[in-house]
A = this chain, B = another copy of it.
Amino acid sequence: MKIAVVGLGIIGGSFCKAIKLHTQHHVIGINRTLSVARQALADGAIDEIGSPEQLGSADLIILCMYPQACVDFIRENGCHIRRGAIVTDSSGIKRAICPQLCELSREFGFVFVGSHPMAGKETNGYASSDGRLYEGASFIITPCGAPDEAVDTLAELALSIGFGSVTMSDPEEHDRMIAYTSQLPHILACAYVLSPCCPNHKGFSAGSYRDVSRVANINSKLWSELFLENREPLIEELRELNKNLTAIIDAIKESDRDAIADLLEQGHRVKQMLGE
C-alpha cells in the first residue's frame, strides 16, 4: 500500500517509523513544518515528502493531528483523496470527530474508519516518536459503518506494525472508557503536582510519586481540547472518583479503621481480580 501519514508528531512519526520497521509499505509524510518532514525523510521514517494536493496517490491516509484539525484538514483537502481510499484518524476522542468524518467520507467518496492507538509518552513532537511506541499496545477501531474489508485492512496493518491487539468499539463506548483510562489520570496528575509539597519531593519519593505524577507533564493545548470534546463522560468519571475519594477521606477523618481497611481492600480486590 501507499500510506500517507498527515502530521509527523509523536503519533504520526511513530506510525511512519513502525510501518517502515515492520512492512514494505510505501510511506508518504505530510507535515505543515517542512523541516520536520525533511528530518523524517533523512531518518528513513518516510519514503517521500508529500503535500495535501498529492493525497490522490494514497491507498490509506492516517490523520495524526489535533482532533478538530483532522476534520478541518479533510474538509479542505478531501477533494484530493481518491475514491475508495481508506482514511483513519488517530484521535483520543471519537463522538466529536467520527460523525463529521463519516459525513465528509460520503461527500468525497472515501472510506472512513475511526481508530485510536493506545500509546503515548509524556513528551511530544517528532523528536519523541519511536518505531516501537506501539509495541504490544491496543489499537482501538470504531468502524462507524465502514465495510468489513476496510476495517480488516486497518486491523491487519495495526497488528503487522507491532500493536498487541485490536479492540472494536463504537464512539460512545470509546469515549466513556477513555474518560476513565486516560483523561482522568491526566487530570489527577495535574491536580496532584499542584501541591506546595511537590517541588520538594526529591529524597522523600519513590515509585508512587513517579507514577501518579508522570503524565502531569502534559500538552495543555491538546488536552484542553480532548477534555472539552469529551465533557459529559469525563464529568461523570470525575463524579465517580470524587464519590470514592470522599468515602476514603471521611473514613480517615472519622478515624474509622475498619471502614478504611474495607475501602482499601475493595481496591485491592479489583486489582487482584484483574491479575494486575
- 9-residue interface stretch from A38-46, A145-153, A237-245: A237-245
- For A196, give the chain B residue with the smallest CB separation: B240
Q: Is A106 an interface residue (CB 8 A)?
A: no
Are A191 and B245 touching (Cβ within 8 A)?
Answer: yes
A105 to chain B, nearest CB (A): 25
**Interface positions of A (Cβ within 8 A of B):** 118-120, 122, 137-138, 140, 165, 167, 169, 174, 176-182, 184-221, 223-225, 227-228, 231, 234-235, 237-238, 240-242, 244-245, 247-249, 252-253, 255, 257, 260-268, 270-274, 276
State the copy count for this chain: 2
Residue of B nearest to A187 (CB): B248
Q: Is the pair B245, A188 in contact by a Cβ cutoff of 8 Å?
A: yes
Which of A244, A255, A257 has most B Cβ within 10 Å?
Answer: A244
A124 smallest CB distance to B (angstroms): 11
**Bound state CA distance, A12 and B205, in angstroms?**
19
Q: Which B residues are CB-close (under 8 A) to A191? A: 241, 244-245, 247-248, 267
- Report whether A180 and B195 are in contact in the complex, using a CB–CB cutoff of 8 Å: yes
Measured CB to CB, the closest approach of chain B to A261, in angstroms, equals: 4
Across the two chains, which residue of chain B brings its CB closest to A252?
Answer: B227
Q: Are B208 and A234 in contact (CB under 8 A)?
A: no
A91–chain B nearest beta-carbon distance, Å:
14
A241 to B174, CA, bound (A): 28
The 10 residue pairs across chains A and B that have the minimum distance between CB atoms: A190-B267, A167-B203, A220-B264, A211-B211, A177-B204, A180-B197, A185-B208, A181-B205, A191-B244, A217-B271
Partner of A193, one of B192, B198, B270: B270
Question: Does the CB pair A199–B274 fall under 8 Å?
Answer: yes
A270-B216 Cα distance, complex, nearest whole Å: 8
Known interface pairs A138-B206, A182-B206, A231-B252; A177-B200 also in contact (CB < 8 Å): yes
The smallest beta-carbon distance between A238 and chain B, in angstroms, is 5
Nearest to A173 among chain B residues (CB) is B204
Please pick, from B176, B180, B249, the residue contacting A198 in the complex, using a CB distance under 8 A. B180
Contacts of A193 in B (CB 8 A): 267, 270-271
**Contact call A266/B203, Cβ cutoff below 8 A:** no
**Given contacts A181-B197, A188-B212, A195-B240, A206 and B118 within 8 Å (CB-CB):** yes
Q: A220-B264, A231-B253 are in contact. List 10 more A-B contacts (CB 8 A).
A: A120-B208, A177-B201, A190-B266, A194-B270, A197-B240, A199-B274, A202-B274, A212-B212, A216-B270, A238-B252
